[in-house]
Homo-oligomer: A and B are copies of this chain.
Amino acid sequence: MIEETSKENIEIRVQMASEAYQFLKSTTIKQRAVFMNAVADKIEALGEELLTTAHAETSLPQTRLTGEKARTIGQWRSYAKAVASGIYIEPRIDLPQPEKQKGDLRKYNIGLGSVVVFGASNFPFAFSTAGGDTASAIGAGCPVIVKAHPAHPKTSQMMADAITNAVKEFGWPEGIFSHITGTSYETGVYLAQHKDIHAVAFTGSYSGGKALFDIANRRENPIPVFAEMGSINPVFALQHLMENKAEVLAKEYISSLTLGVGQFCTNPGVFIAVKGPSLDRFISALKNEIHEIIPANMLHNGIYENFAKHTSNAISQPGIEVIATTEAEEGKGNATIIKTNAQSFLNNPVLSEEVFGPFGIIVTCESKEELIQIAQNLKGQLTITVAATSDDVHENAELIHLLKDKCGRLLFNGIPTGVEVVYAMQHGGPFPSTTDSRFTSVGPDAVKRFVRPISFQNWPDEFLPEELKNENPLQISRIVDGEVNVKSLKLETV
């Protein structure tokens, strides 16, 4: 039984967050980075107990959880380093010039205000309570209120305690981090509507993310929502590659499709190719490879039930042939692969909906033109994979050019699952994969979601934030009169 945080306590936490924002607004990027590294240390110190707790709550294997824990600690540390570099405050200084009217202008980014984070069930560490959204919001200078995911309450509490302990050790205002628990839908709505909440971050289903987006936009003062709502991550397999490597590709595809019982936002749910002998070989190989897959428990019963329901609904559509399934007892995620042709796929929106779990559709096309037609009709995706040789790329330039419009990350071969936490990662694509394709929720660039610029005109140096002072005490890169440099400015006092 999960305790429901009372409305009164939620209200207190929102007010504490607003006070903490006033404090955070005065911290420098270096101070926030030191704090973020301390959180990383606290999470590291949770040791084996964190893994045991999470395993019991999520059924995720220890090896996976060990990797995810390291990733989560790495997120705090790499985002801290990026924040300290000054890249996300974008400091710009335009000095007074005789021919200009305005005098001295200096701009940098501050946090938007309190951010509500809705964690995901499928990454109990990396996309949940102390995940990338929380790290990037705090790095931006925003207090965070986490609405804990009810699927892993004890894990969530341990992570919350780690952050809270860091806050205490630093003597920072308690409101910097709050942990709201419960299963009530109303709590999320209340927070997203609250006048003192300034942004929302969400990872989960389309229905959940879109509901928050709508609520936030219908407020008296609308606020930004970054909701990552998953996608079907199509694979376009092209002719030469298929001819050379149909069997290798089948092995790769099925391993990506069933990794983590298919419970990834980047799970490649659709495989599209022109029909012919190589596609037949690919399908035969799938039928063999599926016997290597050992079905496992899904994250929780709700996810399993949804998976079973959506899978059986997809199978029941016209023009569908089931080509391979695992056979597990009731309750485990049975990997299922079906086949249909391009026109059935194009004409039936059910087949373009994400099925969260190990479920794939092979779409057989008559021609390259049908590949393009499918590309044109695709909704926004987190990832698209082009399985191709260099010759294929040359011969399908139009298709590939078009695919850039439909995704945040475009792969040349390989598998889309596995989202590296680096600057060059983009985890965010056109709607409906996310609510705003201009941002990412993975990699240090995730910080950008939660900052806004403020410009100071003609303020004496003593009142400017450290980041914008003449001396450049933080020794950061700034754009001064249009040129990037790390110089101190030698100026007469304004």
Contact surface of A with B, Cβ cutoff 8 Å = 22, 25-26, 78, 81-82, 87, 90, 92-94, 100-103, 105-107, 110, 112-113, 213-214, 217, 221-224, 379-380, 390, 393, 400-402, 404-405, 407-414, 418, 420, 422-426, 428, 430-432, 435-438, 440, 445, 451-460, 462-463, 477, 479, 482, 484
Task: Using A438-B451, A453-B445, A455-B425 as known contacts, say yes or no to A414 and B103 having CB atoms under 8 A apart.
Answer: yes
A420 pairs with B100, CB closer than 8 A = yes
Given A221-B380, A424-B107, A477-B482 contact (CB < 8 Å): no
Closest chain B CB from A372 CB (angstroms): 13
**Contact A420 B454, beta carbon cutoff 8 Å:** no
User: Is A113 touching B405 in the complex (CB atoms < 8 A)?
Assistant: yes
A107 touching B426, Cβ below 8 Å: yes
Contacts of A428 in B (CB 8 A): 453
Contact (Cβ within 8 A) B412 A458: yes
Interchain CA distance A239-B186 in the complex, whole Å: 47
Please report the C-alpha to C-alpha distance between residue A484 and residue B478 in the assembled complex, in whole angstroms.
13
Inter-chain CA distance A459–B413, complex, in Å, is 8
By a CB distance below 8 angstroms, the chain B residues around A479 are: 87, 423-424
A420 & B222 in contact (Cβ 8 Å cutoff):
no
Shortest beta-carbon distance from A466 to chain B in Å: 15
Residues of chain B lying within 8 A (CB to CB) of residue A457: 409-412, 414
Give the chain B neighbours of A422 by CB distance below 8 A. 92, 94, 105, 482
Q: List 8 A-B pairs, minimum CB-CB distance, nearest first.
A: A426-B455, A105-B424, A92-B423, A94-B422, A409-B455, A102-B420, A92-B424, A94-B424
The reply to whether A221 and B454 contact each other, CB–CB distance below 8 Å, is no
Bound: A459/B400 CA distance, A: 12
On whether the beta carbons of B217 and A456 are closer than 8 Å, the reply is no
Contact of A458 among B402, B414, B482, B484 (CB under 8 A): B414
Given A92-B424, A426-B453; 8 other pairs, CB 8 A cutoff: A94-B420, A102-B418, A105-B420, A105-B424, A107-B424, A221-B380, A390-B460, A390-B462
Given the known interface contacts A412-B456, A414-B458, the answer about A224 and B436 at a Cβ–Cβ threshold of 8 Å is yes
Q: Interface centre among A100, A103, A422, by most B CB within 10 Å?
A: A422
Contact: A458 with B103, CB < 8 Å? no
> Which residue of chain B lies nearest to A423 when distances are taken between CB atoms in the complex?
B92
A107: which B residues are within 8 A, CB to CB?
423-426
| Cβ A112 vs Cβ B221 within 8 A | no
A103 contacts which chain B residues (CB < 8 A)? 414
CA distance A435 to B432 in the complex (A): 21
A401 touches B451 (CB 8 A): no
Contacts of A412 in B (CB 8 A): 456-460, 463
Could you list 15 A-B pairs, sorted by A, with CB under 8 Å? A25-B404, A94-B423, A107-B424, A112-B438, A221-B379, A221-B430, A408-B452, A408-B453, A408-B454, A408-B455, A409-B457, A411-B457, A424-B455, A430-B452, A477-B484
Contact partner of A452 (CB less than 8 A), chosen from B100, B102, B424, B438, is B438
Check if B454 sits within 8 Å of A404, measured CB to CB: yes
In the assembled complex, which residues on chain B have CB atoms less than 8 Å from the CB atom of A431?
221-223
Given A102-B420, A423-B107 in contact, is the A401-B22 Cβ separation under 8 Å? yes
A463 CA / B428 CA spacing, docked (Å): 22
CB distance from A456 to the nearest CB of B (A): 6
Cα–Cα, bound, A428→B112 (Å)? 13
Bound form: Cα–Cα A303–B104 in Å = 33
**Which residue on chain B has the smallest CB distance to residue A102?**
B420
Contacts of A413 in B (CB 8 A): 458
Q: How far does the alpha carbon of A460 sit from the alpha carbon of B477 in the complex, in Å? A: 32
Chain B residues, CB < 8 A from A452 = 408, 430, 437-438
Complex Cα gap A414–B103 (Å): 9
Q: How far is the CB of A471 from chain B (nearest CB, A)?
A: 17
Give the chain B neighbours of A460 by CB distance below 8 A: 390, 393, 412
Given contacts A453-B440, A457-B414, contact A213 B222 (CB under 8 A): yes
CB A431 to nearest CB in B, in angstroms, measures 4
Minimum CB distance partner of A26 in chain B: B401
For residue A402, which residues in chain B have a CB less than 8 angstroms away from its CB? 22
A245 to chain B, nearest CB (A): 15
Q: Quick check: B101 and A482 within 8 Å, CB to CB?
A: no
Provide the bound-state CA to CA distance between A413 and B402, in Å: 51
> Which B residues are in CB contact (< 8 Å) with A405?
25, 113
On chain B, the residues within 8 Å of A221 by CB distance are 379-380, 430-432
